[in-house]
Chain A
Amino acid sequence: MSFDNAYEAINDGAGEDAHWAFGTGFDDPLAGVDRALPAGVPVAELTAYCLMLGDDALVLSQRLAEWCSRAPELEEDVALANIALDLLGQARLLLSRAGEVEGAGRDEDTLAYLRDEHEFRNVRLVEIDCGPGPGGDFASTIARLLVFSSWRLAVFSRLVESADPVLSAVAAKGVKELAYHRDHAAQWTLRLAGGTEYSRERMVAGLARVWPLVGELFDPHPVELALPGVAVDPSLLRPEVDQVLDTVFGAAGLHRPEIAPLSPVAGRTGRDGAHTEALGYLLAEMQYLARSLPGASW
């Protein structure tokens, strides 16, 4: 057997798509999934719930994309971009589902580009500047990713059982991705905390930066409570997520920060469209072109 290059050898016997490095057999995660609205599920709440989970992924994806070409190493640049791409993929499926359930003709692009700040339903944790801008650094980016992916993995593990077949399929796809994101963040938490005195200092500061916004992840929203069997009540996840974080912190010799949560604005948080000032700037940049040329196709 002789091959012109290494990739051919790897794929020997892989059939038709053997000339591609690892095949072209990408699966559509929603192939064969029944998209009809399950009976008895309130439309407005299901739409809002898909927006919540979709916006979390969309906004964090945008934040991670800001690291492109600015990561500490080339390999890390690729890893952060990979995670951002996974999240963008989740956002697309969830926003598409939101638009479809709502039935008002809004697609994923309309929802991403033509909603204002107060219509976004993401938690505030994903929108704050954790670097590479002046609001953070690599350690705070890792701290946020650790908390967020631990929480979201707990949500998606349960969402696999959702009565909505689309949410269930999106979760089944997302679980594998999120397990990878969590692992990546945990690996870096260990390295930064166990690295130099300075890297440890930054890791501790990074956790302190994101910690005030952690509580919001577990506050149940009326939308979640109105969807029994479809949505996940996040207040039930706290012990599990704490256990995961404590395991990582234990291995890294860190402590859970004791910092008071950021208070809601007049009783409203990110889930209700009450955001930090960071989101407006983020959306201005993200939506600029779509706002300038509304109705264009690309």
Chain B
Amino acid sequence: MSESPRSSWPLYEVFVRGKRGLNHVHVGSLHAPDDEMALRNARDLYTRRNEGVSIWVVPAAAITASSPDEKDPFFAPAADKVYRHPTFYSIPEDVPHL
């Protein structure tokens, strides 16, 4: 055999929304020859074919990740800039979902 079968079976990342879940959550990855088979494999591997779930598969190569090296400059703008957060007024009691 000239090439390993895995080389023609690229990696896919799998996102699943549970029956009553609100959003898709990353649950893992798998190998598949194409998108259609990735979807079917994801159903077998990650949902046990439970009805009412939604699956997204994405080729791992299509995902751009933030770099751990840039963590500090990338995520710093939040915590230490207290003036960015609306914390200087009290919430009225009759506004329940704020």
Which residues from chain A sit less than 8 Å from chain B, CB to CB? 6-7, 9-14, 22-23, 72-75, 78-79, 82, 180, 183-184, 187, 191
Contact = CB atoms under 8 A, between A and B. Distances in A.
Given A23-B19, A184-B40, A73 B27 contact: no
| Across the A-B interface, the 3 shortest Cβ-Cβ residue pairs | A10-B18, A75-B41, A9-B25
A173 to B, nearest CB: 12
Interface stretch (B31-39, B60-68, B72-80, B84-92): B31-39
Given A6-B26, A9-B25, A22-B50, A74 B31 contact: yes
A79 B44 contact: yes
Contacts of B36: 187
Contacts of A23: 19, 50
Given A22-B53, A73-B5, A73-B9, A12 B44 contact: no
B20 to A, nearest CB: 5
Contacts of A73: 5, 9, 31
A6 B14 CA distance: 11
B22 A12 contact: yes
Contacts of A82: 44, 49
Contact of A191 (B19, B33, B48, B49): B33
Contacts of A184: 40
A180 B9 CA distance: 22
A7 B27 contact: yes
B59 to A, nearest CB: 15
Interface string B2-28: 000100010000001111111001111
Interface residues of B, number: 28
A82 B9 CA distance: 21
Nearest to A180: B49
A78 B21 CA distance: 25
Contact of A11 (B21, B45, B49): B21
B19 A75 contact: no
A263 B85 CA distance: 82
Contact of B21 (A9, A74, A75, A180): A9
A12 B22 CA distance: 8
B40 A79 contact: yes
A23 B21 CA distance: 12
B40 A78 contact: no
B57 to A, nearest CB: 12
B26 A75 contact: no
A78 B45 contact: yes
Contact of B27 (A10, A72, A183): A10
A10 B16 CA distance: 7
Interface centre among B5, B33, B36 (most CB of A within 10 A): B33
A191 B28 CA distance: 25
Contacts of B28: 6
A86 B5 CA distance: 28
B58 interface: no
Nearest to A82: B44
A22 B48 contact: yes
A10 B45 contact: no
Contacts of B9: 73
